[in-house]
């Protein structure tokens, strides 16, 4: 009898070992921390429950470091299967790493990609091949303090729709309350903030190849002159994103334009302090709204074989409407799948949390973030940062500062044109 029990125990151990051996581990690099990091891990755990043959090892790296960390891991031949890539670096990663085209016939039916809006896939679309799917996308929104609006004699239930209305409201807030009227995010050395402003005004930030800045047009100069005037007149204090965000959350600023990813944090910080309003990004003159997404996409690097098959399983899982909507609800990032309201859980969420509606309304008006080339980018972005510093110093008008900055940016990027 003892021999039988030993045999059964041995068989059980062999079965466990065989099951463990059959599992495929994939490595997922990402920069999510705090509550979004916990949500991501919970989603990965749910994926593993329905796919017990796959183990997902997630590796966290700070957003500023993840590009270099992934490059180092690939160079050292350490496993890298799925990566979170900052949008502006997608073209670089597609050319400089063993990135996998998700719609390559070798990777099976690509119809699952149709779940995403085409404009959300455009950041990862290179010559017809799709190298990235959207994941942690934000869209810029106008947040405003309704209590300050009331103190300034403004209609708190009517958010400014245009930049002219924003400037008028900010001026009235400054004059009647003494508080800061408005601020517009910089983000990433002023790169993203500048991109959004000029794109929405009808200018082209970078050409499609990412090798040339083109925002020294009348539209680009005009909107950047407005940004200078906001600082010059004092309705926007010259500060950084962290200082502006802190001032707004403390109830000391009338309006703040920043990412939809800040929505949940702003709602929480406003509770019991002030009445928070949320609206779409302001329109510029007669231009239709065109705003670039912020945040990151997901790319595939797994080699052919079990790791790639397991990684594709994960990406298809993340593209499910219920999973994608769960990610959006818990993190504040934009909904990414077509018609998010078609999900009953999401529809109920929107009804109970109407502040998220502006973000959903901007889904179809969101353009992919401009992508920078492999070389000259850091120097070019320094010139963008210097341009903003000079704009706010207000010793010269935008008509003199912007063309000069664009020329310097293009000189920095010219190395890519010589190849």
Which of helix, strand or coil describes residue 251?
coil
List C-alpha distances in Å: 241 to 64, 245, 287, 311, 315: 16, 6, 26, 36, 33
Closest CA to 122 of 303, 350, 290, 304: 290
Helices 398-413 + 377-393 axis angle, to 10: 170
Largest CA distance in the chain: 94
Secondary element (H or E) of residue 257 = strand 253-259
pLDDT of residue 18: 45
pLDDT of residue 199: 97
Pairing state of beta strands 24-30 and 82-86? parallel
What is the mean pLDDT for each group of 10 consecutive residues in the chain (419 residues)?
55 50 89 92 97 96 85 91 89 88 94 92 90 94 98 97 98 97 88 96 92 96 98 95 95 96 91 96 95 93 96 97 94 89 94 93 90 84 95 96 97 77
CA separation for the pair 178, 173 (Å, rounded): 7
In which order are the strands placed within the sheet that holds 253-259? Answer: 180-184, 253-259, 140-145, 276-280
The 8-class DSSP code of residue 162 comes to B
Whole-model pTM: value is 0.86
Q: What is the 3-state secondary structure (H, E, C) of 311-371?
A: HHHHHHHHCCHHHHHHHHHHHCCCCCECCHHHCHHHHHHHHHCHHHHHHHHCHHHEECCCC
pLDDT of residue 347: 94
List C-alpha distances in Å: 191 to 32, 243, 263, 327: 21, 18, 21, 27
Residues pairing with 259 in the sheet: 140
Q: Is the separation of the CB atoms in 283 and 298 below 8 Å?
A: no
Residues for the chain: how many in total?
Answer: 419
Q: Write down all domains in the chain, each with its CATH number in brackets.
A: 2-137+294-367 (3.40.190.10), 140-292+375-416 (3.40.190.10)
CA atoms within 13 A on the CB side of 384: 25
CA separation for the pair 185, 206 (Å, rounded): 19
Q: Exposed, middle or buried by CB within 10 Å (0-12, 13-18, 19+), for 395?
A: exposed
pLDDT of residue 277: 97
CA separation for the pair 161, 202 (Å, rounded): 17
pLDDT of residue 65: 84
pLDDT tens digits for range 259-277: 998 998 899 999 999 999 9
CA separation for the pair 39, 61 (Å, rounded): 16
Q: Give the DSSP per-residue string, 262-305.
A: GHHHHHHHHTTT--EEEEEPPB-TTPPP-EE-EEEEEEE-PPTT
pLDDT of residue 63: 80
Helices 263-270 + 241-249 axis angle, to 10: 40
pLDDT of residue 5: 58
pLDDT of residue 406: 98
CA separation for the pair 165, 152 (Å, rounded): 14
pLDDT tens digits for range 195-227: 999 999 999 999 988 899 999 999 999 999 999
CA separation for the pair 383, 319 (Å, rounded): 38
CA 250 to chain centre: 25
Q: Is the separation of the CB atoms in 123 and 90 below 8 Å?
A: yes
């Amino acid at each position: 009898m003892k021999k039988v029990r030993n045999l059964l125990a041995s068989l059980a151990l062999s079965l466990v070992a065989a099951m463990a051996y059959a599992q495929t581990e994939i490595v997922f690099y990402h920069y999510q921390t705090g509550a979004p990091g916990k949500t991501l891990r919970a989603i990965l755990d749910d994926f593993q429950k329905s796919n017990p043959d796959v183990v997902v090892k997630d590796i966290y790296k700070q957003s500023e470091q993840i590009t270099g960390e992934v490059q180092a891991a690939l160079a050292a031949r350490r496993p890298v299967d799925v990566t979170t890539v900052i949008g502006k670096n997608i073209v670089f990663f597609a050319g400089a790493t063993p990135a996998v085209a998700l719609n390559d016939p070798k990777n099976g039916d690509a119809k699952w990609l149709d779940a995403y809006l085409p404009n959300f896939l455009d950041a990862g679309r290179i010559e017809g091949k799709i190298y990235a799917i959207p994941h942690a996308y934000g869209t810029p929104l106008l947040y405003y303090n309704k209590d300050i609006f009331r103190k300034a004699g403004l209609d708190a239930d009517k958010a400014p729709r245009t930049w002219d209305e924003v400037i008028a409201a900010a001026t009235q807030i400054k004059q009647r309350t003494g508080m800061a009227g408005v601020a517009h995010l910089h983000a990433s050395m002023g790169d993203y903030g500048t991109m959004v402003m000029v794109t929405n005004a009808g200018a082209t930030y970078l050409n499609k190849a990412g090798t040339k800045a083109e925002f020294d047009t009348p539209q680009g100069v005009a909107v950047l002159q407005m940004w200078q005037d906001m600082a010059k007149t004092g309705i926007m204090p010259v500060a950084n994103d962290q200082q502006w965000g802190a001032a707004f959350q403390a109830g000391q600023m009338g309006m703040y334009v920043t990412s939809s990813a800040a929505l949940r944090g702003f709602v929480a910080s406003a509770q019991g302090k002030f009445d928070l309003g949320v609206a779409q990004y302001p329109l510029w003159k007669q231009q239709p709204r065109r705003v670039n997404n912020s945040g990151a996409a997901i790319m595939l690097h797994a080699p052919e074989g079990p790791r790639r098959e397991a990684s594709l399983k994960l990406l298809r899982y993340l593209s499910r409407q219920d999973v994608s909507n769960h990610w959006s609800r818990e993190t504040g990032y934009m909904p990414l799948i077509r018609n998010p309201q078609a999900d009953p859980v999401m529809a109920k969420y929107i009804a109970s949390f109407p502040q998220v509606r502006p973000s959903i309304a901007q889904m179809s008006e969101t353009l992919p973030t401009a992508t920078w080339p492999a070389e000259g980018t850091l120097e070019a972005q320094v010139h963008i940062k210097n341009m903003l510093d000079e704009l706010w110093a207000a010793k010269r008008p935008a008509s003199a500062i912007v063309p000069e900055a664009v020329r310097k940016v293009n000189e920095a990027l010219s190395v890519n044109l010589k190849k």
